[in-house]
Structure 1
Amino acid sequence: FGRATSTHAAVATSLVDAGGIDADAAAQAVVEGLLLARYRYGVLKKDAAMAPLERLALVTPAAKAERATTGARRGVVLARSASLARDLANTPPGHLTASRLAELAVTVGEASGLTVEVFDAADLRDMGCGGLLGVNAGSQEPPRLVKLSYRPKRARGHLAMVGKGVMYDSGGISLKPTDPMHAAMKMDMSGAAAVLSSMAALAGLGCRADVTGYLLCTDNMPSGSAMKLGDVLTVHGGTTVEVHNTDAEGRLLLADGLALAAEETPDAIVDIATLTGACLVALGPGVAGVLGNEQTWVEQVTAAATRTDEPVWQLPLEKRRYRKLLDSDIADVKNVGGPYGGAITAAVFLSEFVGDVPWAHLDIAGPMKVDTDEAWRSKGATGFGTRLLVDLAMSFTPPAATNGDGANRTST
């Protein structure tokens, strides 16, 4: 419907009035789907691919008009947040550096009722964020850590979100092997884009949870100063990490972000990252992987994914079997665990930095982009995870405490 009307500036449709579908939900679905499907990244083109949508009329019985209006407004907010994430991920890497993203986060955050703090390289050294600094070592562009805080009155719980923001990932010294891989790596900051864009929607939707977001931003480049295989980094909190592959960089900066988030003892943490090609191989391009240390929390994430049509599939956090693959002879842990089970070993690595806080990890390497139009996903960056995170925050319930024997925990 959205693409079929793409040449029209004014569109009208009747809302479905059958099968018990609520006018609120129907209006949201129509508006959200229409705007998402019409999306195109066209800021660098002379001619727009689609006519700007100036007017959308939804026809519904008068008795349902108020609820339909509420749903339509919600659909606009959600579609705009996903479109912001798409814009950020589609932007060429020469146009969007870590420092530029931090500037945009300040502008977007302050306009959205968020408190925004930006930390530069000197701050990161003082904070002991050796993972982010290590990844940044080969770059001429300085790193940034952005902290976003949303604090409503009478909050019901505290949720932390951590997003991987690798603005361009060459692989570093472990250089990626093909041009198509390199061409897509401007999207390696899709996790950070999803966190920023989702948090920008919270005030407008009346979210009742405290939410703190962390954007870990840098590019990963080869140079004479780049981190090397065999280097040992000390991440926030003091854990030492031996680098066995510089293209396994996302987990290094996420270690800093997760450790910082856990220090504030939120009720739960979710991280989102284009982390492993292994997850793409395992689940294909349409489904994200989810792993975590608390099953009730993973189930909240999965439920939000189902409601937003941003599908996830749970993989096992097999620490008992796989943690030994990360053993290092000279450091506390190494950053890769061998050729097999890469999505799982990456998550096992991340679990080292969350302590006892309920945590879920979203590996969105597969659905970060599509090569052709598909349902509501337009060719290019999908903004995957943005609406999922909004739904998760809006419906957030602090995960139930375990009974002391790990009954709610996934495999350790």
Structure 2
Amino acid sequence: MVLAHLATVPDTGKRLEQARRAGDAMAARLNAAKRKDAQVISLQDDAALTLALAEGAALGSYAFRKYKTDANGAPTLEKLGIVAKEVSADQAEELADLCDAVCIARDLVNEPVSFLNAKQLAAEIRTLSRNAGFKAQILGKEQIAALGMGGLIAVNKGSIDEPTFSILEWKPKGPVNKKPVVLVGKGVVYDTGGLSLKPTPNSMDQMKCDMAGAAAVACAISVAAKRELPLHIIGLIPATDNRPGGNAYAPGDVVRMHNGLTVEVLNTDAEGRMILADALSYAEQYNGELVMTLATLTGAAMRAIGHYGSAVMGTAPEAEFRKLEAAGHATYERVAQLPFWDEYGDEIKSEVADIKNLGSDLAGAQTAGKFLARFTTRPFIHIDIAGPAFITKRDSYRTRGGTGVGVRLLYEFLKQRAAAR
């Protein structure tokens, strides 16, 4: 039995984060004691704080051990009961669904490409859809080519594995939105940089995480479906690896994209924007009320913000960014809005094609965002999760490796969006 009481701080977001970290510390002690189950009696009269405590304990107990042959060091805690008069059964179930989704996203990010190629990612998405109750349609290479998705096909040219394009949909009876929210997740299952090979050392060993945006989108939609959010949501996930094969696309190539725009390729390591652009163009048919991309897109975003948050930018009304910031503060998956001035678009003008896939050495996060904005006419928010998606050192309940960042952020954003209607 554990008694839990938390000191209060004035900031609600920080107070919830304090509770999560306390929950992680509690779970660490229980695991160290080899406990398999425990009961926590909360002395709080605040349901949100009690739930945050349990959230930190659940997420902090995560470990990716699929390929371990030795059980030593594995977390032992299997069941944590919470005794709290302020927490309803429905709230507890919602938290369990959310934590499960985050852990699935972490698993997907931590899987090596030797297992998780584009087809396997699509298979995992299909399994998620069956378990959660949303629709999933998987397109293969021939269908992708027939749609004219030149960016996705170009990036895939160096690979021996075929690309996939996954279309996810959660549409409840009587959704509160007439136009869907469209979420687009980058699904580069492994990124060598292609012919613009990433420099060594230590530049590729984390590149299995380049599909973290795809994992977050799929897992956030799975929670929305399980919780039956009254919100129509579309998810689009273009997936491939990026390798320097004999037929790989090359610097200097000109690629015709899904919407007909031509792109001069200056660097094959700027591949994420190529596949996201086709997905954004495809998304035009849905006439979404808001289109959001989630991607480990640029080192520039990571250098600007570090592992502490995600960079956001786009063309959506400022009110949408404030809602996203509020969701980020509540979940402590914080976001920082970057300027999105017109001049950043000038950086990607090309002399031989409509645009080029790389800007100057400056403001790389924004020029990547401007590239994406050329492929959508809808209100648009781009979330660059390059910094927090994968960490090499544990940060409390954010365990080493894939963090599952974006799942909690997106779900909170969608939940509050539905509640506000």
TM-score (norm 1): 0.92
**1:188-267, aligned counterparts within 5 Å?**
188-267=210-289
Q: Which amino acid aligns with 2:393?
A: T
**How far off its partner does 1:325 sit?**
1.1
**Aligned equivalent of 1:409:** none
Matched, 1:12 2:33: no
CA distance in 2, matches of 1:163, 1:240: 22
Q: Which amino acid aligns with 2:366?
A: I
Q: Deviations over 1:138-170 (max 9, x none)?
A: 000100000000010110121110000000000
8 Å Cα contact 2:159/2:241 also seen in 1? yes
Q: Which range is displaced more, 371-380 or 247-256?
A: 371-380
Q: Deviations over 1:245-295 (max 9, x none)?
A: 000000000001111112210110111000000111111122110001022
CA distance in 2, matches of 1:399, 1:8: 42
**How far off its partner does 1:304 sit?**
1.4
Q: Which amino acid aligns with 2:28?
A: R
Give aligned pairs, total.
390
**Aligned equivalent of 1:35:** 58
Structure 1 gaps, min length 5: 401-412
Secondary structure at the aligned position of 1:285 is classed as helix
CA distance in 2, matches of 1:105, 1:131: 22
**How far off its partner does 1:106 sit?**
1.1
Q: Which amino acid aligns with 1:144?
A: T
Structure 2 gaps, min length 5: 1-25
**1:127-166, aligned counterparts within 5 Å?**
127-157=147-177, 158-166=180-188
Q: Which amino acid aligns with 1:4?
A: R
Matched, 1:56 2:83: no
**Aligned equivalent of 2:124:** 104
**How far off its partner does 1:31 sit?**
2.3
**How far off its partner does 1:307 sit?**
1.3
Name which of 121, 124, 133 aligns with 2:141: 121
Q: Which amino acid aligns with 1:105?
A: I
Q: Deviations over 1:185-214 (max 9, x none)?
A: 000000001011111111222211100101
TM-score (norm 2): 0.90
Identity percentage of aligned residues: 36
CA distance in 2, matches of 1:96, 1:191: 15
Name which of 4, 23, 26 aligns with 2:49: 26
Q: Which amino acid aligns with 1:376?
A: Y
Q: Which amino acid aligns with 2:401?
A: G
8 Å Cα contact 2:390/2:401 also seen in 1? yes
**Aligned equivalent of 2:329:** 306
**How far off its partner does 1:223 sit?**
1.6
Matched, 1:349 2:364: no
CA distance in 1, matches of 2:104, 2:184: 18
Residues 1:399 and 1:121: Cα distance change in structure 2 (over 3 Å):
farther
8 Å Cα contact 2:54/2:82 also seen in 1? no
Q: Deviations over 1:205-239 (max 9, x none)?
A: 22111001011100000021000001011111111
Q: Deviations over 1:20-56 (max 9, x none)?
A: x2x2x23421222111011110011023433443322
8 Å Cα contact 2:369/2:382 also seen in 1? yes
**How far off its partner does 1:399 sit?**
11
**1:349-388, aligned counterparts within 5 Å?**
349-355=371-377, 357-388=378-409
Matched, 1:270 2:292: yes
8 Å Cα contact 1:163/1:191 also seen in 2? yes
CA distance in 1, matches of 2:417, 2:182: 11
**How far off its partner does 1:303 sit?**
1.6
Secondary structure at the aligned position of 2:28 is classed as coil
CA distance in 2, matches of 1:327, 1:160: 27
Residues 1:399 and 1:322: Cα distance change in structure 2 (over 3 Å):
farther
Residues 1:172 and 1:232: Cα distance change in structure 2 (over 3 Å):
same
**Aligned equivalent of 1:317:** 340
**How far off its partner does 1:398 sit?**
11
Q: Which amino acid aligns with 2:127?
A: T
Q: Which amino acid aligns with 1:359?
A: F
